[in-house]
Amino acid sequence: MADQRNVEESAAQVTAAWERIEKWLRAHAPASAELLRPAASDADIAAVEEAIGVTFPPALRAWYRLHDGIDDPEDGKSWWPAGFLPGGQGWYRLEQMQSAYVMQTRDWEREPGRIPISCTPDDMWHGLYIDARPDEPSYGNLGRWVVDREPDLIPESTSGWPLQAWLTEIADALERGRCLIELDGWRDEDNWPALTVCGGLTWVAPGEEPQSPEGRILLDGPR
């Protein structure tokens, strides 16, 4: 019964956090919001689980039941709005997730059980994953994958950031117009939300130069 309560609580936290994020996107970054795909069905998720041989953690399942990641921008449109997750990451749709997982475990010979959830848009060099190994203390938590080194958890030297807590912190950062604050209270100054002139959200380090022709406007307070 306790396990079922935990499942329900993590799913409810994901839903509550994502409602805040999506409301903010639709109000302030419509170009990012319009890339969101319809919800993935239980059958869609089960098909990917069967194909990769890994069961989604409850929070990850709850997230994909809200949206099946994002679509690529239409031809001729900017890729900036696709990178609306911290680190400028684009949220994988299930099809991309499955392909990336197979590549990483087969071609890169990475240990099974880490499910990739994002990459830098139009790039396959690095991204985020959720640990789906149920016997690990990092189960259900966030990590980083990179093509040329072993995966590591976020924050480093921890058991990772639970997906539902990470999404809640994203919502807080957007609503308050500030950088991410990690579980230990450390301010991630490399991840400030910024708006692009094409109507998208991205995340930057404040010292970075704006990229032409769009530019970026750093958030510096509530919106």
Query: Tens of pLDDT along 65-121?
Result: 999 999 999 887 888 899 999 999 999 999 999 999 999 999 999 999 999 999 998
Q: Which residues of 145-175 are buried (b: 16+ CB within 10 A; e: fewer)?
A: beeeeebebbeeeeebbbbbbbbbbbbebbb
Query: Domains of the chain, with CATH numbers?
Result: 2-218 (3.40.1580.10)
pLDDT over 90 at 27, yes or no: yes
Q: Is 144 strand, coil or helix?
A: strand
Cβ-proximal residues to 95 (8 Å cutoff; 6+ apart), any chain: none
| % pLDDT > 70, the chain | 95
Residue 55: exposure state from Cβ atoms within 10 A (0-12, 13-18, ≥19) = middle
Query: Tens of pLDDT along 149-169?
Result: 899 999 888 899 999 999 999
pLDDT over 50 at 212, yes or no: no
Kindly state the average pLDDT of the residues 19-42: 97
